[in-house]
Structure 1
Amino acid sequence: MPKILCIAEKPSIAKAVAGILSGHTAQVKSTASKYTKNYEFNFDFGPPWGKSQVVMSSVAGHTTSYDLPKEYGAWANYPCSIPFEAPCEITIDDDKKAIAANIARNAKYSQVLYIWTDCDREGEYIGTEVRDIARKENPRIQVKRANFNNLEPNHIIRAACNPVDLDERQAAAVAARIELDLRIGAAFTRLQTLKLRSIHGIDPKKVISYGSCQFPCLGFIVDRYHKITRFVTERFWSIKVTHVRDNVPVVFNWARNRLFDRMAVTLLFEQCLTAKKARITKVDQKPTRKFKPLPLTTIELQKKGSSYLHMSSDAVMKTAEALYQKGFISYPRTETDQFDKGMDLRGLVQKQTQHTTWGQYAQGLMDGGFSQPRDGKNNDKAHPPIHPVICAQPNALSLDEKRVYEFVTRRFLACCSSDAVGSTTTLTLLWGNETFSASGLTVLERNFLDVYPYERWTTNELPLFREGEEFEPTEAQIMEGKTSPPTFITEPELIGLMDANGIGTDATMAEHIKTVIDREYVFAKERGGGGGNAAPATRGRGRGRGRGTRGGAAAAGGEGGGGGTGVREFVPSTLGLGLVEGYDDMKFDVNLSKPFLRKEMEVKMKQICEGQKTREEVVRESLAMYREVFDKAEQQIAVLRRVNSIILNLRRLLTFD
C-alpha cells in the first residue's frame, strides 16, 4: 500500500482535512512541535495510487526565512547599502525546526508528498518550502497539491482525488518579493535608524523600519493630513426655496448650488423675488432600480467590514480566516467577483433555509425568488467569491465570527436576489431666471434590501405637481455657509487607494495598515472619538518572509483580534510625518512615499506569474530601481535629518503652547 504524506498550511486545516478524509477515524499522534500533530489513516485516492496509508500533518505558516548572513548584522562594520549586494541565505527558523524534522522523517518512507496549502501565491511558495525539505531527505518523492477553496466535505474529497502540480511561477513571484523586501527594507531601515534615531530619541533597541508597501500606505495618510492642515476656509452663499403642499414641505435645490460672491447671490435672489411666482417647467417620472451588490471579494470584505461592522481590516481578515478554517465560509482571499455558471448556488441557498434569522428569506429564494448573481469585472481563475459553505447558527460562533459570518451570508443571499425596484419623480422649477429642482422616490419592491440591511433605499414621495403650474413659494432665503476641510483618511478609503494603486495584494493590505500603526508612524482613532494608542515598534533587523499571518504561532491558532465601535481614521505621528516630508524635500523623480515604485514591482510579479519574466530578472531590475533612489537618499541624508528636526521641534512648541 503506497504511503502518502499530506502537509497543510495550518494545524487547523490539517485537522479538518484529516477528519473529512478519514471519516473522523484518524489516529492522532503528537510531534516534537507544539504547533503540529500527525493524523494517520487510510484513504482511497483513486488512480494512480488507490488506497493508501496517509500521514496528515502541517506547517505553521512559513518554515524558512530569507536573511543576510550573521556577520552583516554588525551595522557599524558595513555601509548601509550592503543589503543590496550581500548574499542571501535561506534558513529554517528555530521555532520551526521540529516541524521541518517531522516533514523530513515522514517523507523518507513516503512515495508521494501531497501539499494542502492555501491556493494562492503565498500558498504555492509555502508548498515549495515543504517540497524542498522533503526532497532533501527523499529526492525521489513525487509532489502534488490539492486544489481547494473551502472545507465542505465533498469539495475536499474531490480535491484529494484530483491533484494538480504546484505553480512554480507563482512561487517564484513570492520568492522574488521576499528577497526584494529583505534587501530594500534592510538597506533603508539601516539608513533611517542610524541617521534619525538620535533626533527622535528612539530606544537603541528599536529601529526606524522601511517597507516598500508600508511607505506608500503612510504616504496616503500624510497626503490627506496635509490637505486638512493646509485647507483654507471660504464663505459661500446659496438660495433655498421651500414650498409646502398637502402639509409636505418640498425643498427645491438651486442649480448653481452655491456661489462665493455674496453680492451676486443677492442680486439673483432679488430677481427671483421680483418675479414673485415660480413655474414647474418639467415633471419627469421614470422607473429606477437599486442594483444588488456584486459577489464578495477580499478587498470589498475589508472595506465593508470596516465601514459596516466597525472592525479593523486586520480583525476582519483574521475572523474570516477563522471562519474558513472551521469550514463555515469559502477561502477569504480572492479577487473574483463572478460566480462560475456551473456552481450550485441554489444548493448553498438551500443550506441557509435552516438559519434562525434569515432562513425564511432564503426559503423565499428557493420558492421562486432566486436570481442569478451579477458578474463583476474581476476573475483570478483561482477562487470563487467569498460565500457561506454551511449554515452556522449564532451559538456556534464568537461575537466577531457571528458579525463577519452574518455579513458574508447576507451579502451572498443579496447577490442571489432581485434588484430593488422603484420610481423617481424629478421636478424642475423656474423662478425668475434661476432653475431649481426637487426629487422624490417611491420604493415598489425592496427585494435584496430585505436581507441586506447595510444599504438603505427609502421612500420619499413628493406631493402632486403638474407641469406648467405656477405658485408663489412658501419660503425662500439666502443661506450662508463655509467650506470644510476633508476628514482624516478612513480605513475603507485607505484600502481603496492601496487597491487602486497596486500597493500590496488583497490579502496583505490589512497587514500593511497594521504595520504602520505598530511602527508608530500613524495613530488610529475612531471617527468622532479621541486619539488612538499605537503599539510600540518591536521589529529588529529585517528578515524576509511571507505574510505575518503565515509566519508563526498566530498561524497555528493565535487569537484574531477584536472589533471596535466605529470606523477608524488615521493621523500621522511626528516620525511618520518627518519621514514622508523628508523624502519629499529630496525632490526625487520617483518619491518613496508615492505608490509608483512599488506598483511597478507588483506589475513585475505578475509578469513572473505569466511567464514573461524570470525571478532573477525581476530581482535585478527592481533592485536597480531602488538602489538609484537609495544612493540619492544617502547623499541627501542631511535633508531628512533637517526636516525631522524641524517637525519635531514645531510639534513640541505646539504641545507646550
Structure 2
Amino acid sequence: MKLLLLTEKASAAKNFATALGGLKGSFNHDSYQIVHAHGHLLQFKEPHQMVAQDKAAKYSDWYDLNNYPWNLLDFTWEKEVIPGMEPALANIKNAAQKCDAIVIATDDDPSGEGDLLGWEIINAIKWTKRVFRIRFADETPTNIKKALLQKVDVTNQYQQGEFLEATGRERFDFASMQLSRIALIIARQAGFQPKSLRLGRLKSTIVNQVYQQETARQNYVKKSYYEVRFRDANQNIFKQGQKAKFTTEADAKLELSKFHKAQIIIDTKVTKHQAPPDLLDLSHLAILVGKKGYASKEVLTTYQKMYEAGFLSYPRTEDTKITQEQFDQLLPLAKQIARVTHVDPKLLAHTTLRKKFLANNATHGANRPGLNVPRSLAEIEEKFGKCGRIIYEAVAKSFLAILAEDYLYDQEQAHLADYPKFTCTINLPRELNYKLIFNEHDLDDTNAQEVLPFGSSAQPFIYEGHNPKPKSPTHRFIIDFLKKDKIGTGATQEQTLANISTGKSALIKNTKEKYSLTFPGLVQSILCDQTYIASPKVTEQLQDTMKMVKQGKFDYRNVPFLINQIVKHDLAIEQKNATNLSKNPKLAKLQTAKKTTFTPKPKVTGTWRGKETAINQTWGKHTFNERELKHLFAGKSIAFILNKRKITGKLAKQTYQGHQFVGFKADFD
C-alpha cells in the first residue's frame, strides 16, 4: 500500500523524513511519501457567503442588532482556501493521486485541532479512499516509527470523536463572532470607539476576571484591627486562636499592659516529608519565564521551536503525568541533563518513578526535556536566545527534581509558659534535597521568608492587622483562577493570554507580571458584566459539552446552537450595561477617540456575480448614484470626482480586520 503521510508543518515533515530515511521510501512493507501543510489551509467563508442568496444581505449587515442571533440552520458551513495557501493544497492533492491511503500525521492536540486540520484538507481535495490516523508523543524517530506501526483506520470521519469535537468547537467559536459584533455596535452607539472587541469562551472569562479584581481593589476600604501577639528574637509570632480583636489601638494598649515577657515551651517536634512538585505545565512555565521579562507569546513561540528541534517534549499537552515508558526513555539522560543545567548529579538518587507522577496512559506526557540533550545552556541560548535558555533550564530542573529525594523538615509546635493559649508552629528545613534543584516557591507572587528556630522567650507587642486587600490580577493569579475552575489546558490558557495581551487591539496588558485592562478591554468588561460568555461556570459547562461530543454523547451539529442561547441573554445585558460606560471615570481617561454617536454607513443591495450582495452606499464623502450602482453590480468600473481628483474603481472582495466584505475598491488602493 502506498501511503501519503500528511504532517502539519514543514518542520514536522523534516523530522518524519529523518526518522524514515527520506521524504519518500518504504516502511513496514508499505511505500510512503511525506507532504506537509502550513497549519490550517482552509477557513470558513464569511457568513453571507454560507447562506442562500435571498439571505445574503441580512448576514452582510453587521450593524443591525435585529439581525441577531443568527439562525444557524441557514449556514452551509462551507470552507475556502486561505489566501496564499492554494499552492500547498495543490501539492498535497497532486501527491495524493498516486496513493492508496492518506495518513493524518498532524499534531495530536487535546482539542482535536490536528484531526480537524487534516480532515479539512482531505475533504477539500475530495479524497474518497482510506484514511488512517497516527498519534505520537513527540517527533523522535522512535515514536514516529512506533506511531506508524499503530495507525488506526478512521476512514469514516463522522465516527472519529476527536474530529467531531473539534468541528463542534470550531463552529461554536465562529458563531460566537456575533457577540464581538454586538458588543462593538453597542459600545459605539454609546459613544465609545474601540477598534474591535473580542469576546469568546476563554478570552471573556480572563478579561472579566481582571476587571473584577481591578474593581475590587479600587473599591477596597482598609479596616484596621489590633491584637496582642508575642514575638521571639527570630521573628516567630505567637498568637491566640479565637481571641477577640480590638477596633482601636488604645484598647489594645490597655490589653497589652496585662502581659509580660514569657518563656517558650516546645511541645512537639516531628520530621516530615514533602515530595517534589508536579511537573511544570506550559502556563506555570510561562509564569516562571515571565518573571524574567518574557511575554507569553515569546514563551510559546520559543518553546515550539525547541520542541521541533527535539530539545523539549510536545508543548500543547494536557497531561500532568508521564508513563513508565516515557520516564524510562529520559532516565538514562538525566545525569547528562543535570550537567548541562549545573545540577549536582549526586542529588538524583530517586531513580524510580513515584506514583504521584505515574500515568498508565498519557498521549504526550507532561512537559519535560526532549531526548535531544544540548551540549550546554550556551548552545540553547545561541539557537533560541535567552528566553530559550531560561525555558530549558526551568523544564529540565522541574523534571530532575522528581529524581531527587523528598524535602525533609522538622515541624515544631510551641506555646508560652505563662500564656498557654498563645501558640506557634514552624517548619525548619532539615534536608533540602529536591529543593536544591527546583523550588516551587519561585512560582509564588510573594517571596517566602526564612524560618529560624524558636528563641528562649517572646515579648508581647500590639499587632495591627486589616481586612485583606483583593489580590492583584497577576499572571499566577489568573492561572490559578483558571485551574480552579478547570477552564482550558495550560497551553490554551497561555495561548489565550498571549492572544489578548498583544497587538493594537489587546484587551489586557502585562506589566511586570501584573495584568491590567486596556481601553477596549475595559469597554468590553463593563458591557459584559454578568453575561454568560464572561462566566467561568458557563465556560466550563461549554467545555464539558464539547468533551461529550468526543465521547459520542452529544451531537456535534448541535454545539453551535448553544451560542444563540448566550447571544439572546447577553445582548439584553449589554444594552443595559451600556449606560455604565459613561459613568466609569477610568474609561473616560482611557478614551482616545472623541465621543460621537455611531451611525452605520447606509447599505444598498444588488446582484453581483450572481449573488445578492449588500455594499456601502458611500465611499469616503461620495454617495453612489443609481447609474454608478448599476455599473458596479454589473462588474464594471466607474469614475467620479472627489476632492478635485478623479477616482476610478469597481467592486471587489476585500478584507478588513480579518473579515471579508464586498465593496468599492479604488484603482490606487
Partner of 1:415: 402
Q: 1:612-651 alignment to 2 at 5 Å? A: 612-620=553-561, 622-630=562-570, 632-633=572-573, 637=575, 639-647=576-584, 651=588
SS at match of 2:395: helix
Residues 223 and 631 of structure 1: CA distance in aligned 2, closer, same or farther (over 3 Å): closer
In structure 2, what is the Cα distance between the partners aligned to 1:573 and 1:322? Answer: 30
> Structure 1 residues 414-423 or 639-648, which shifts more?
639-648
1:316 paired to 2:313: no
Pairing partner for 1:194 from 185, 189, 196: 185
Residues 520 and 598 of structure 1: CA distance in aligned 2, closer, same or farther (over 3 Å): same
Pairing partner for 1:426 from 413, 421, 434: 413
- TM-score, normalised on structure 1? 0.77
Residues 519 and 321 of structure 1: CA distance in aligned 2, closer, same or farther (over 3 Å): same
In structure 2, what is the Cα distance between the partners aligned to 1:295 and 1:382? Answer: 16
Partner of 1:295: 279
Partner of 1:60: 38
The CA deviation at 1:211 is: 2.0
In structure 1, what is the Cα distance between the partners aligned to 2:183 and 2:332? Answer: 57
* Counterpart amino acid of residue 35 in structure 2: S
> Structure 1 residues 154-163 or 376-385, which shifts more?
376-385
Q: Deviations over 1:127-154 (max 9, x none)?
A: 21232234x1x422x2112221212222
1:606 paired to 2:547: yes
SS at match of 1:332: coil
The CA deviation at 1:18 is: 0.9
In structure 2, what is the Cα distance between the partners aligned to 1:375 and 1:440? Answer: 23
Q: 1:90-239 alignment to 2 at 5 Å? A: 90-120=79-109, 121-134=112-125, 136=126, 138-140=127-129, 142-166=130-154, 168-185=160-177, 187-197=178-188, 199=190, 202=193, 206-239=195-228
* Counterpart amino acid of residue 603 in structure 1: D
Pairing partner for 2:313 from 324, 330, 334: 330
The CA deviation at 1:488 is: 2.3
The CA deviation at 1:363 is: 4.3
The CA deviation at 1:178 is: 1.2
SS at match of 1:94: coil
The CA deviation at 1:611 is: 1.1
In structure 1, what is the Cα distance between the partners aligned to 2:591 and 2:61? Answer: 39
The CA deviation at 1:76 is: 5.0
1:364 paired to 2:363: no
* Counterpart amino acid of residue 231 in structure 1: Y
* Counterpart amino acid of residue 105 in structure 2: W
Q: Deviations over 1:114-136 (max 9, x none)?
A: 221111211111121232234x1
Residues 232 and 431 of structure 1: CA distance in aligned 2, closer, same or farther (over 3 Å): farther
In structure 1, what is the Cα distance between the partners aligned to 2:44 and 2:303? Answer: 29
The answer (yes or no) to whether the contact 2:350–2:402 under 8 Å persists in 1 is no
* Counterpart amino acid of residue 524 in structure 2: L
Residues 438 and 191 of structure 1: CA distance in aligned 2, closer, same or farther (over 3 Å): closer
* Counterpart amino acid of residue 134 in structure 2: A
* Counterpart amino acid of residue 65 in structure 1: Q
**Structure 1 consecutive aligned stretches of length 4 or more whose deviation exceeds 6 Å:** 377-380, 456-459
* Counterpart amino acid of residue 598 in structure 1: T
- TM-score, normalised on structure 2? 0.76
> Structure 1 residues 388-397 or 92-101, which shifts more?
388-397
SS at match of 2:310: coil
Partner of 1:19: 18
Residues 617 and 438 of structure 1: CA distance in aligned 2, closer, same or farther (over 3 Å): closer
Residues 304 and 653 of structure 1: CA distance in aligned 2, closer, same or farther (over 3 Å): closer
The CA deviation at 1:458 is: 9.2
1:384 paired to 2:365: yes
Partner of 1:538: none
* Counterpart amino acid of residue 331 in structure 1: Y
The CA deviation at 1:424 is: 2.6
1:265 paired to 2:252: yes
Partner of 1:449: 435
The CA deviation at 1:451 is: 1.9
Q: Deviations over 1:288-314 (max 9, x none)?
A: 22321123334443444445x553333
Residues 112 and 287 of structure 1: CA distance in aligned 2, closer, same or farther (over 3 Å): same
1:375 paired to 2:356: yes
The answer (yes or no) to whether the contact 1:574–1:648 under 8 Å persists in 2 is no
The answer (yes or no) to whether the contact 1:353–1:359 under 8 Å persists in 2 is no
The CA deviation at 1:318 is: 2.2
Pairing partner for 1:573 from 518, 527, 544: 518
In structure 2, what is the Cα distance between the partners aligned to 1:16 and 1:654? Answer: 50
* Counterpart amino acid of residue 632 in structure 1: A
In structure 2, what is the Cα distance between the partners aligned to 1:164 and 1:362? Answer: 44
In structure 2, what is the Cα distance between the partners aligned to 1:42 and 1:479? Answer: 77
Q: Deviations over 1:391-441 (max 9, x none)?
A: 123233222222111111111111122211122322211444751426351
* Counterpart amino acid of residue 12 in structure 2: I
SS at match of 2:225: strand
In structure 2, what is the Cα distance between the partners aligned to 1:595 and 1:440? Answer: 36
In structure 1, what is the Cα distance between the partners aligned to 2:202 and 2:426? Answer: 44
The answer (yes or no) to whether the contact 1:283–1:427 under 8 Å persists in 2 is yes
The answer (yes or no) to whether the contact 1:338–1:385 under 8 Å persists in 2 is yes
Q: 1:578-597 alignment to 2 at 5 Å? A: 578-584=523-529, 591-597=532-538
SS at match of 1:645: coil
The answer (yes or no) to whether the contact 2:226–2:247 under 8 Å persists in 1 is yes
> Structure 1 residues 224-233 or 347-356, which shifts more?
347-356
* Counterpart amino acid of residue 196 in structure 1: A
The CA deviation at 1:383 is: 2.1
Q: Deviations over 1:10-30 (max 9, x none)?
A: 1111111112211xxx3xxxx
Could you list the runs of 5+ residues in structure 1 that have no partner in the other structure?
Answer: 27-38, 466-470, 528-567
SS at match of 1:651: helix
Partner of 1:340: 323
> Structure 1 residues 646-655 or 160-169, which shifts more?
646-655
The answer (yes or no) to whether the contact 1:575–1:644 under 8 Å persists in 2 is no
Residues 250 and 164 of structure 1: CA distance in aligned 2, closer, same or farther (over 3 Å): same
Residues 610 and 51 of structure 1: CA distance in aligned 2, closer, same or farther (over 3 Å): closer
* Counterpart amino acid of residue 324 in structure 1: Y
The number of residues matched between the two structures is 561
The CA deviation at 1:242 is: 3.7
In structure 1, what is the Cα distance between the partners aligned to 2:358 and 2:569? Answer: 36
The CA deviation at 1:250 is: 5.3
Partner of 1:69: 48
Residues 654 and 144 of structure 1: CA distance in aligned 2, closer, same or farther (over 3 Å): closer
The CA deviation at 1:340 is: 1.8
* Counterpart amino acid of residue 511 in structure 1: Q
Cα RMSD (Å): 3.2
In structure 1, what is the Cα distance between the partners aligned to 2:585 and 2:341? Answer: 58
In structure 1, what is the Cα distance between the partners aligned to 2:217 and 2:139? Answer: 47
The answer (yes or no) to whether the contact 1:224–1:488 under 8 Å persists in 2 is yes
The answer (yes or no) to whether the contact 1:410–1:452 under 8 Å persists in 2 is yes
Residues 242 and 297 of structure 1: CA distance in aligned 2, closer, same or farther (over 3 Å): closer
